Amino acid sequence: MARILIVEDEPDLMLSLEEDLRRQGHDTTPAVDGEQGLQLGKEGTWDLILLDVMLPKMDGFDVCSALRRANVVTPIIMLTARAQETEKELGLDSGADDYVTKPFSVRELRARIRAQLRRSDRERERVCRFGDCEVDFNRAELRRGGEPVAITPQELRLLEVFLHQRGRVLSRDQLIDAAWGRGVAITDRAVDTHVFNLRRKIEPVPSEPRFLIGVRGLGYRFDLDESTES
Ligand code: CA
């Protein structure tokens, strides 16, 4: 199951896309113009974004480049109206991963979506290193200086969310959506507790965090000094 943001202003197409993708077991969210698409794209945690080119308020290319500038790395498939080379180039230039030309068959779009989701799965690092920590997500293990550290599945999931969106400030709501599940009733306080516990496991000095940084009034950000990354 993937969380898919669909940015499309044609109600009929939106309806059929949502119907089909939901039937495939995906969770879809609609956005009906470019501004809304950009806002949801930045705020939410998505596995994939379907982005129409011709949109009210802001076109798809501008939305796409703005998302990339905001460090959103989610795969983006553009829905272009014509098979024009210039449009394709623009789409890829603005940071899109693929494009599908309208009118497209449901089967073709499904195949493209599967390909993007498979790719992003593969690219997702399964072993991450920072400081003296090593996290192996396949084995569900955290090691520090080579020594195993006990970590709960929920802490691991939260750490995974931070690592995959490092450098971005994530609000408590975004963390709940991504690490617990959308709509799950978890309080902000519970998020803080998990962050506190994670810090004790990964930070050299938990009271002066170097990786898991609190951003006042906004949430948390995972900072990774590129030089310590391997
Ligand atoms: Ca359109």
The tokens describing 89, both together, are: 């180039």
In terms of domains, do 89 and 21 share one?
yes
With cut-offs at 50, 70 and 90, classify the pLDDT of residue 59.
very high
With cut-offs at 50, 70 and 90, classify the pLDDT of residue 208.
very high
Centre of ligand 1 from the C-alpha of residue 34, in Å: 10
DSSP per-residue codes, 14-62: HHHHHHHHHHTT-EEEEE-SHHHHHHHHHHS--SEEEEESS-SSS-HHH
Measure the CA–CA gap between 119 and 114, rounded to whole angstroms: 8
Centre of ligand 1 from the C-alpha of residue 108, in Å: 19
- Average model confidence (pLDDT) across the chain: 88
In terms of domains, do 158 and 143 share one?
yes
Centre of ligand 1 from the C-alpha of residue 1, in Å: 26
Q: Are strands 147-149 and 212-215 parallel, antiparallel or unpaired?
A: unpaired
Mean pLDDT of all residues in 205-229: 84
Range of the domain at 213: 126-229
pLDDT at 225: 64
Final residue of a structural domain among 94, 124, 154: 124
Centre of ligand 1 from the C-alpha of residue 52, in Å: 6
pLDDT at 64: 94
Centre of ligand 1 from the C-alpha of residue 78, in Å: 11
In terms of domains, do 86 and 13 share one?
yes
In terms of domains, do 218 and 183 share one?
yes
Mean pLDDT of all residues in 50-61: 94
Measure the CA–CA gap between 30 and 11, rounded to whole angstroms: 10
Q: What's the CATH code of the domain at 115? A: 3.40.50.2300
pLDDT at 148: 93
Residue 45 has pLDDT above 90, yes or no: no
pLDDT at 230: 40
Q: What's the CATH code of the domain at 150? A: 1.10.10.10
In terms of domains, do 9 and 20 share one?
yes
In terms of domains, do 66 and 131 share one?
no
In terms of domains, do 11 and 95 share one?
yes
Centre of ligand 1 from the C-alpha of residue 54, in Å: 4
Residue 86 has pLDDT above 80, yes or no: no
Q: Are strands 219-222 and 76-80 parallel, antiparallel or unpaired?
A: unpaired
The tokens describing 65, both together, are: 């480049």
Work out the angle at residue 187's Cα, subtended by the Cα atoms of residues 148 and 135, and round it to the nearest 5 degrees: 20
In terms of domains, do 164 and 81 share one?
no
Number of domains forming the structure of the chain: 2
* pLDDT above 70 as % of the chain: 91
- For residue 195, give Cα distances in angstroms to 31, 111, 113, 199, 208: 31, 38, 33, 6, 13
Which residues line ion ligand 1, judged by CB < 5 Å? 9, 52, 54
Final residue of a structural domain among 65, 99, 124: 124
- The alpha carbons of the chain give a radius of gyration, in whole angstroms, of 19
Task: Name the nearest CA neighbour of 180 among 166, 168, 193, 167.
Answer: 193
Q: Which residue has the higher pLDDT, 163 or 19?
A: 19
Centre of ligand 1 from the C-alpha of residue 139, in Å: 44
Residue 137 has pLDDT above 70, yes or no: yes
Final residue of a structural domain among 76, 106, 124: 124
In terms of domains, do 31 and 108 share one?
yes
In terms of domains, do 120 and 13 share one?
yes
The tokens describing 136, both together, are: 């192996």
Q: Which pLDDT tens digit goes with each residue over 154-182?
A: 999 999 899 888 888 999 999 998 888 87
Centre of ligand 1 from the C-alpha of residue 178, in Å: 29
Centre of ligand 1 from the C-alpha of residue 81, in Å: 8
CB 82, CB 99: distance < 8 Å:
no
